[in-house]
Chain A
Amino acid sequence: SELPPEVVREIVNRLHTFQDFIAVAGVSRTWRSVCLSISRRPQLPWLMLSETLSTDMRHFFSLCDNNRYQLLLSEVQGKRCWGSPHGWIVTLGPDYETHLLHLMKRVQIALPPLNTIRTLAATEEWFCLVHKFILLNDPSQDSSLLVIAIFGPVNRLAFARRGQGQWAIVTNPDILKFNDVACFNDQLYGLCDNGKLVCLELDAPLAAEVLVIAPQPSEEEVSVPQKLYLVETSENLYGIFRYGFHIPSEMRHETTYFLVYKLNFGELAWEEVTDDLEDFSVFVGGGNSWCIPTSTIFCRSNCIYFTDDNWEWQRYPGVAYGGRDVGVFNMAQRVVQRLPFGKDNPRFYSRPIWVTPTML
């Protein structure tokens, strides 16, 4: 006897892994339609591992069940990729073509050509031209499309919208170096320099406004972070500061700890979070930075999961420098722990990234 859809929904909402989700979606038409309708629940991402030269099979590590999965993905062969929580990744190839690729459905959306960006960063190799792509909404769900690119030697900002023929460069008279962008309460924010918070207005087509609204924390507090990330929960905006040390002989960096700051909107100032992250965990690295509420899913809370997005030493193609600085920072114990994802060999253009698989 068939279960009514609302009951099927109660069961599907309590499944542990994406693999279980896919399995039950094949049970019957009712089950499939329920699965497709609730694909927006919070979910642990997969770690998309570095490309392996000899094969089009791409390996993934699931934090849900500590298993590895593989997916035939010839579309990303030879390209650098950036992850997101929307089920899509951004790819950039040696031909300077950029695309959005839906991981599960293998559908691609072409992004505008990078000409405007290249003229401002002419000396960069293709794989270090853009430091980060941020996919601000889900192309499967939203008809508008907004992708941010942080590029070049001084971390300038550019953005692309659906229907816009080229990347629009954000004019930046104060020469702010951008680290990350997030959307909170329908407002775009950028995190610049060593923690300056700016408001971004990208409404006017091909034009943009940048306004500093909160200063960076003092140097005594934050010294010189290696990387900075901006993440939002439903309630708050957080600045995540990443620290570690260089190993010059091996030309790599190793992360040792993080500091977390919460924005006090009343004072327009950053305040350090010294207790636990309230019921969420953070994912940062190559691509979007995001939080997952841990009250409803099987995930360790109070942790910062990170991948290696320090490309400082990767100047030339050939030998891969870095890419192995991947792990999880336990906020309670203030230690970095490794993740059991098995073998991974970064390439000069390919490293592990976080991506949340979705059905749509």
Chain B
Amino acid sequence: MKFCTVKQYFDDENNNNVTNGIATTVIPLPNKHLKIKANNKEMEQYEQELLRNVMPQELTKLILAANYLNFKEALDFFCRTVANAIQNKSVDYVRKFFGLESDFEPGEEEKLCKEFAWSFEGVDED
């Protein structure tokens, strides 16, 4: 089933912007995943490698490809990688990461910031 979907993915006109690079990253993933599934440390290293070598926009495309191919393990892995990458980051950082623009009205956005009006502080000494 996976092979059929892959072929459809490349035949589909709308996916013309899929580069070879992405195809070569996503498709070998099952083998790599199977080989190192049991080894958390290697997965962590692969995740670091991915974050270093792959631009956020490419990572987004990887996620979309994994989603389209219904490739659950890859989707899980890439989404976890992204969740780790945006941990403790600001709203602007997350927007830039995904190449998104805010579609809120200016007043609306300010209201949202105030909605959860809280701030971070370091832990005091005992």
Contacts and interface: CB of A to CB of B under 8 A. Distances in A.
Contacts of A1: 60, 99
Interface residues of A, number: 40
B88 A19 contact: yes
A262 interface: no
B3 interface: no
B63 interface: yes
Contacts of A343: 124-126
A6 B66 CA distance: 12
A69 B88 contact: no
Interface stretch (B4-12, B31-39, B79-87): B79-87
B118 to A, nearest CB: 5
Contacts of A69: 118-121
Interface in B73-105: 75-76, 79-80, 82-84, 86-91, 94-95, 98-104
B123 A66 contact: yes
B27 interface: no
A29 interface: yes
B123 A68 contact: yes
B1 interface: no
Contacts of B124: 68, 342-343
Interface in A1-39: 1-4, 6-7, 10-11, 13-17, 19-20, 22-29, 32
Nearest to B80: A14
A359 B60 CA distance: 26
A236 interface: no
Interface string A251-268: 000000000000000000
Interface string A231-263: 000000000000000000000000000000000
A67 interface: yes
A11 B116 contact: no
Contacts of B119: 69-70
Given A20-B86, A29-B103, A67 B79 contact: no
A341 B95 CA distance: 32
A270 B95 CA distance: 52
A65 interface: yes
A26 B64 contact: no
A121 to B, nearest CB: 36
A20 B95 contact: no
9 contacts: A10-B63, A10-B67, A23-B86, A23-B90, A25-B112, A59-B121, A69-B118, A72-B117, A343-B126
In the complex, the 6 A-B pairs of residues with the closest C-beta atoms, listed nearest first: A14-B83, A342-B123, A26-B91, A342-B124, A343-B124, A10-B79
